[in-house]
Each structure stands twice: as structure tokens, then as C-alpha cells.
Amino acid sequence: MRALILAFLLLSPAARAAAAETGCIYDLKGAVEVAKAGQPGGRAGKGVPLSEGDSLKTGPGAWCEILFRDGTFIKLEENSETALVALKTSKEERTFSFSFLKGKALWMAARLKGTISSKFQVRTPSAVCAVRGTDFSIAVSSAGETSVGLFEGKVAVSGSAGEKELLAGGEAFVSSGEVAVQARLSRLMEKEKKRYGRVKGRVEALRKRLEERDGYIDEYINRQRKKVADFDARRKERVGKR
């Protein structure tokens, strides 16, 4: 973890700004690995900035929360893997695309104000989920089958055989290209809905902070970076006294 954050410290200010422009790892527990675009993976820590091309993995018993500047929030559960394929934002549009390869994750796509257009997409080995300001959970089995439980909003779920619209309170299952939709949640997704209920208030509070302070994520990254640097300085001091 320290090596990854310190490597970020060595970047030029311009490179650091570019790397931090999208979001960061906001919280985590256990073994979480992040691979920066074009670099080998390493142990992740709070405040590591995330940008287009990065990927994350969680180990057994681990989890990871990701917070983006627009207020989008993702929580990866254990044994999950995702790649941040496209993360583009401007005053006119947002294009977010993720490749969710395995595991289970909660996705809370921030609702955009005004006339900003949005393309928010999550791809799994068997499905494509097109999102509009939506809160949902995805589970991908070891065989690549996909379950999508929708808690708020609408999602268009596509397989190779076609597309179906999923409404709040329903669930879609995608296998062999076929999309099956039911109007209620399975036991698995009912449990995910309870998890969602426990984090919803905190995410709304985070979004309020983001609205009130443009530099909220930068401040968080800098605080975590300082903690790591201070820890290393104290460790070196202790070693020097031996």
C-alpha cells in the first residue's frame, strides 16, 4: 500500500492532477489490489486516485469502496474484479464504462443535474447494463452468468439474444445470451438490498460534501497521502535510533 501511494507522490504535479481527476478508493478492508493503467498491480490503500484504465480486485473477506467526483459510488464485495474502461466527464456529458468480470458489487450512479447527457454502462461476461441515475447490484458467477437486482430507477439489460428493461424492485438473470426478468428480488438480491439500505444515507452525505466543496476528493487524497508519508517518516526515525 505505502509503495503504491509513494509512487504516486513521485509523479509531477500535472501527472498527479490527471491521475486524480476522476475518483479514488474511499474505504477498504482486507486484501485489495489496484493496477494503474499500464502498470503492474499492487496493494491498495485509502486515497489511491483512480482513473480510466485502472482495475481493482478484492480477495477473500475483503471489500472496497470507490467514490467519483460526480458522486457515483461503487462497493466491490469479496472476490470481485472490475476494470474502469472509460471515465470521461465534461460540462456537457458523462461517459462511464466498467467491465465487471466476477464477484458482486453495488453500483450507485449519480444523477446528473441540468442538461448534461450521460452514458453509464456496466459490462459483464454475459450482459450489458445501460444505466440512468440508478442504484443496483450485480452478481457474476464463476460461469459468467449475471444477476442484476434493481433498487431504484431503470436499467436496460442486454444479452446476445436481445434486451429487456428492468424496473425497480425487479431482477434480471442473463445466461447463454438470454435475458429473463422477474418482478421481484431473489433471496440473494434481497440481502443486497439490505446492504444498499445501510450505505445509502452515507453516500447521500458524501454527495452533499462533494457539492459543497469542489476539492473534497483532492483533500481526501492529500490527507491519506500525508498519513502514509508521516508513517514512513516515523518508521525511518525508529529504525535510525536502533
| Residue that has been written with the C-alpha cell 460526480 in this structure | 70
Helix, strand, coil share of the chain (percent; to 5):
30, 45, 30
* 157 Cβ contact partners less than 8 Å away, ≥ 6 residues apart: 127, 128, 129, 148, 163, 164, 165, 166, 172, 174, 179, 181
What nine digits make up the cell of 57? 480486485
Which tens digits make up the pLDDT trace of 194-230? 999 999 999 999 999 999 998 999 999 999 989 888 8
The pLDDT of residue 102 is 97
> In this prediction, what percent of the chain has a pLDDT beyond 90?
74
Which tens digits make up the pLDDT trace of 97-153? 999 999 999 999 998 877 778 899 999 999 999 997 799 999 999 999 999 999 999
Backbone angles phi, psi at 73, to 5 degrees: -130, 135
Residues 44, 64: Cα–Cα separation, whole Å: 9
The pLDDT of residue 31 is 96
Would the pLDDT of 88 be above 70?
A: yes
Rounded mean pLDDT, 156-170:
95
Give the model's confidence band at 10: pLDDT under 50 very low, under 70 low, under 90 confident, else very high: very low
The pLDDT of residue 163 is 96
Residue 10 CB neighbour total at 10 angstroms: 8
3-state secondary structure of 60: coil
Give the model's confidence band at 21: pLDDT under 50 very low, under 70 low, under 90 confident, else very high: low
> In this prediction, what percent of the chain has a pLDDT beyond 70?
90
* 114 Cβ contact partners less than 8 Å away, ≥ 6 residues apart: none
Measure the CA angle with vertex 43, ends 238 and 110; round to 5°. Answer: 120
Which tens digits make up the pLDDT trace of 47-62? 999 999 999 999 999 9
* 166 Cβ contact partners less than 8 Å away, ≥ 6 residues apart: 148, 150, 154, 155, 156, 157, 172, 181
Would the pLDDT of 1 be above 90?
A: no
Higher pLDDT, 233 or 60: 60
The pLDDT of residue 39 is 83
The pLDDT of residue 68 is 96
* 149 Cβ contact partners less than 8 Å away, ≥ 6 residues apart: 136, 137, 139, 170, 171, 185, 186, 188, 189, 192, 193
Give the model's confidence band at 237: pLDDT under 50 very low, under 70 low, under 90 confident, else very high: confident
What single DSSP character describes residue 80? Answer: -
Are the beta carbons of 80 and 105 closer than 8 angstroms?
yes
Which tens digits make up the pLDDT trace of 193-204? 999 999 999 999
Beta-strand ranges (E) seen in the chain are 23-29, 32-35, 42-43, 49-50, 55-58, 63-68, 73-76, 81-89, 93-108, 117-123, 128-140, 146-159, 162-167, 171-175, 178-182
Would you tell me which CATH number, out of the four given (1.25.40.20, 2.60.120.1440, 3.40.50.460, 1.20.1740.10), belongs to the domain 2-241?
A: 2.60.120.1440
What nine digits make up the cell of 14? 500535472
What is the value of pTM for the model shown?
0.87
Domain boundaries, the chain: 2-241
Are the beta carbons of 135 and 115 closer than 8 angstroms?
no
